[in-house]
Amino acid sequence: MNRRYAIAAAAFAALLLAVTAAKILHVPILHVPWAASSARAVEQRGPLSDGEKATIDIFERVSPSVVQVAVKSTASPLMGEEGQGGASGTGFVWDREGHLVTNNHVVANGGEIAVRFASGEVAEVDLVGTAPNYDLAVLRIRSVRQLPPPIALGSSNDLKVGQSAFAIGNPFGLDQSMTSGIISALKRRLPTHGGREIANVIQTDAAINPGNSGGPLLDSAGRLIGVTTAIISPSGSNAGIGFAVPVDVVNRIVPELIRSGRVPTPGIGIVAAGEDVSTRLGVEGVIVVRTAPGSPAERAGIRGVNLSTGAVGDIITGVEGKPVRRLSDLTDALEQAGAGKTVRLTVKRGSDSRDVNVGIIDIERS
């Protein structure tokens, strides 16, 4: 051990001697990088990759049409600060008439609504209509100096798992943020605050956090393919699974909201058993618990559960020749057809199966 100390001490003494000699003889001392007192030269980078250029182009084209949505609570003057009396989300320009699209849950609690554009301009807006069953809402700008162009529409019908997806929004109140990823799943079903399910929901791993709600989900051409609406995370932050309402649904619902401020809720007048009941009974289809008096289902002869014996009555197993395995299959088909139309249902009672024609009504106005 003493030998090692002796060697180290000798080396240190030699270094001091060399430095002293260099100063006396005016010999330059070896440059120490961390002692630099001037900025280093900037190295020129190569050209951006084609993928980088494409992503930059999407953001530069679309981001001016994305807005931050802030809702002021009636209990607080603070605007758009989550947890302090307001809600904050994202929206985007839908048309040249000044309509904006966002999520229903962003504006559901009432209060004055304002939006901030990428330019920094703030504008007050009016609530045109809401569709809780689809978590969509439409706003209209009262006045703005220059309205950005609407986002180009794509289609959600031909999406593929694995293709690129881009989300622009205002996570945690930070405006104009862009994230990218892929479409990680299709045909998801998402429960809404309206007590129903949105069918064919898009799942993506592009980071979606609180504040992104209501923002656009885009394909690699910068076209709208969905409206971001929810994440699955115990902490409330992105955990790799986000959801978006498919644009084909949006393009059906938004014009209806602009026309009338609401969307009909198509139904046939039945109360259905939960999927857990169907699973326990080993039933594939929708078990009818009861029919509403005077409803299209009752008039068509559909029968519910026998309340005296508990025996199952009718089970809806198909609509227009397509199988119905759960309630969302039926509600999706009714929504596609629309109130005022008639659909052909396949109904099973015991071992017998038959087809019946049933009218569709707007159950909220019946």
Active-site annotation, residues: 105, 135, 213
Tokens, residue 253? 């619902």
259: three-class secondary structure by DSSP: helix
- Give CA–CA dist 245/103, Å, rounded: 10
Query: Do residues 63 and 118 make contact, with C-beta atoms less than 8 angstroms apart?
Result: yes
CA atoms of 261 and 276, how far apart (whole Å) = 35
Distant-in-sequence, close-in-space partners of 190: CB < 8 Å, separation ≥ 6: 197, 198, 201, 229, 230, 243
Q: Where are the alpha helices (DSSP H) in the chain?
A: 2-25, 50-62, 104-107, 247-260, 275-281, 296-299, 327-337
64: left (phi over 0), alpha (psi -120 to 50) or beta: alpha
Query: Pairing between strand 286-291 and 270-272?
Result: antiparallel
Query: Is 259 within 8 Å of 350 (Cβ atoms)?
Result: no
Distance separating alpha carbons of residues 305 and 56, to the nearest angstrom: 59
For the chain, state the CA radius of gyration: 31
Give the SS3 label for residue 65.
Answer: helix
Eight-state DSSP code of residue 153? B
Q: What is the distance between the alpha carbons of residues 349 and 360, in angstroms, rounded to a whole number?
A: 22
Tokens of 112: 């004055």
